[in-house]
Structure 1
Amino acid sequence: MVSVFKNEAGKENVLRSYNELLQGWHTEFRELDMETPYGITHCITAGNAGLPPLLLFHGVGDNSAVMWLLNIRELSQHFYCVAIDTLGGPGKSIPDTRFNKQTFDQVHWINSVADGLGLKQFYVAGVSNGAYMAYNYTVNEPGRVLRAVCMEGGMVTAPLKSMVQTLLMMFPEILMPTRKNLLKVVAKLSSPESRLTEKHPEVAEHLVLLMKNHNQQAMFVHKLQLYDQEKATAVREKLYFLLGDYNLHRKKDFTSVLDGGNFRYKVIPGSGHGINHEQPERVHREIIDFLLQPDMTAMIR
């Protein structure tokens, strides 16, 4: 069975920090463990259960506690939020033996979480790899997704090229992963205008802890489905993409796909890859305004 953390001491440090971050959510929340065919999936819910449901997906090396720290208070005023710790990610979900490249099915896994929560239709949103998950789930289960917001990610056309570009942004600091160097990595992925590490050091410190202790090979179990224009066009009206303006030139392959398919998207000034951390208020408004347009809220039942 795949090991999510490099060692037990690192896992304990991450989970301790995870719990500390939850106290900074500044809203009521509930943690639950869902039994799925691939292991225990940890979810954090916030907001009244009578509000429209919104499933939230974090990035590859993140977890729900840090990803939604600056967003959950506002989002939970409008949605019944379900923040899901991805199997294989450095959170509280615990994969079992069926979490492997041969048997794991990401869409089936998300379905099992939604079914366990009794959710038939819902909104989805995600950042980075979580944006891909939100997008991919939408094109495969269009009957369940009302609308989706994909931040700094979505459809995948050249996964190897994207991975190489991200790694190059982390060089040379990633070669010597000291705290100081990893803080530099966080800063390099963020817009200087956002002053993320200065304004929210708790976010930066937790991300450093994750980079040092997460076994990212555990995420390789998630197989990527390449962009299918026909499937995407069929759900185009349900999709909205948010991109940071920092290093936008490095995202030209992605914006070309968005432009070519006439997908709706917006570039958020003063933000980079950590878009929802760097400009949380602007991102709140974009998510809420898009998801809760009157023609879509009527569809919830």
Structure 2
Amino acid sequence: MERYKSSSGKMLIHDSYNKLLQAWGTDFEEKSFETTYGLTHIIITGDRSNPPLMLFHGTADNSAMMWIYNMKDLSKEFYVIAVDAIGGSGKSEPNDEYWRSFNQITWMDDIVTALDIQYMNICGVSYGAYLAYYYTLKRPDKVNKVACLAGRIPSNSFEVLFKMMTAFLPEALFPSEKNCTKLLN
């Protein structure tokens, strides 16, 4: 399955991505390596002797955009690895296996193994938060601390999802003073 309609479209997107990286205000290195599900692209910054911090962006985003305002400060305290989600809008390129049987934990294990990381901090936003929580649940021996925004804890329970929907959907679909007050209480 092709990700881009044309090679010129791909070039425009990558040019935009590269311009965003230049605005990070810190030195960085880009790397790509093969995983079970295709070529995974990462951006690394910070001192290798600092604690590792793996970052996962949200859906329809990429690492260059998501972390543009955070990277300069994060790189002072951490060895930062910003991962472009495979199948997303960054520079990672899924293979046929991705479309057949993508498994997030296998993919994340591939990343951790390729980078020879034994123990790390992990951070995510939205879909990235889901990945961070899920990896922490499945590989607690690999994760020190987790920081997440706008994500949900992975659960097979429809009950949890139903409770979230009934709590938030009426207020989102019908925003009124009464519904907002109900949500806050």
Alignment TM class, shorter chain as reference: 0.7 to 0.9
Q: Which runs of 5+ in 1 are unaligned?
A: 170-248, 257-301
Per-residue deviation at 1:15? 1.0
Per-residue deviation at 1:39? 0.6
In 2, distance between residues paired with 1:138 and 1:7? 38
C-alpha change, 1:8 and 1:158, in structure 2 (3 Å) is farther
Per-residue deviation at 1:97? 1.0
Per-residue deviation at 1:34? 1.6
In 2, distance between residues paired with 1:11 and 1:90? 10
Please give the TM-score of this superposition, normalised by the length of structure 2: 0.82
Letter in 2 for 1:11: K
Match of 1:129 in 2: 127
In 2, distance between residues paired with 1:49 and 1:152? 29
Match of 1:158 in 2: 161
Matched, 1:13 2:16: no
CA deviations on 1:24-43 (whole Å, 9 max, x unpaired) are 01101000002111111000
The DSSP-based 3-state class of the residue aligned with 1:98 is: helix
In 1, distance between residues paired with 2:8 and 2:161? 36
**Identity, % of aligned positions:** 39
- Asked if 2 retains the 8 angstrom alpha-carbon contact of 1:61 and 1:90, the reply is yes
CA deviations on 1:139-163 (whole Å, 9 max, x unpaired) are 111110111101111315439959x
Match of 1:146 in 2: 144
Letter in 1 for 2:161: A
> What does 1:88-99 correspond to in 2, within 5 Å?
88-99=87-98
Per-residue deviation at 1:103? 2.0
C-alpha change, 1:6 and 1:149, in structure 2 (3 Å) is farther
CA deviations on 1:260-299 (whole Å, 9 max, x unpaired) are xxxxxxxxxxxxxxxxxxxxxxxxxxxxxxxxxxxxxxxx
Match of 1:56 in 2: 55
More strand by share: 2
In 2, distance between residues paired with 1:82 and 1:98? 24
Aligned positions, number? 169
> What does 1:58-77 correspond to in 2, within 5 Å?
58-77=57-76
In 1, distance between residues paired with 2:153 and 2:5? 30
- Asked if 2 retains the 8 angstrom alpha-carbon contact of 1:36 and 1:109, the reply is yes
Per-residue deviation at 1:7? 4.4
The DSSP-based 3-state class of the residue aligned with 1:76 is: helix
Letter in 2 for 1:128: S
Per-residue deviation at 1:104? 1.4
> What does 1:267-286 correspond to in 2, within 5 Å?
none
Please give the TM-score of this superposition, normalised by the length of structure 1: 0.52
In 1, distance between residues paired with 2:34 and 2:87? 15
Per-residue deviation at 1:11? 2.4
In 1, distance between residues paired with 2:33 and 2:49? 20
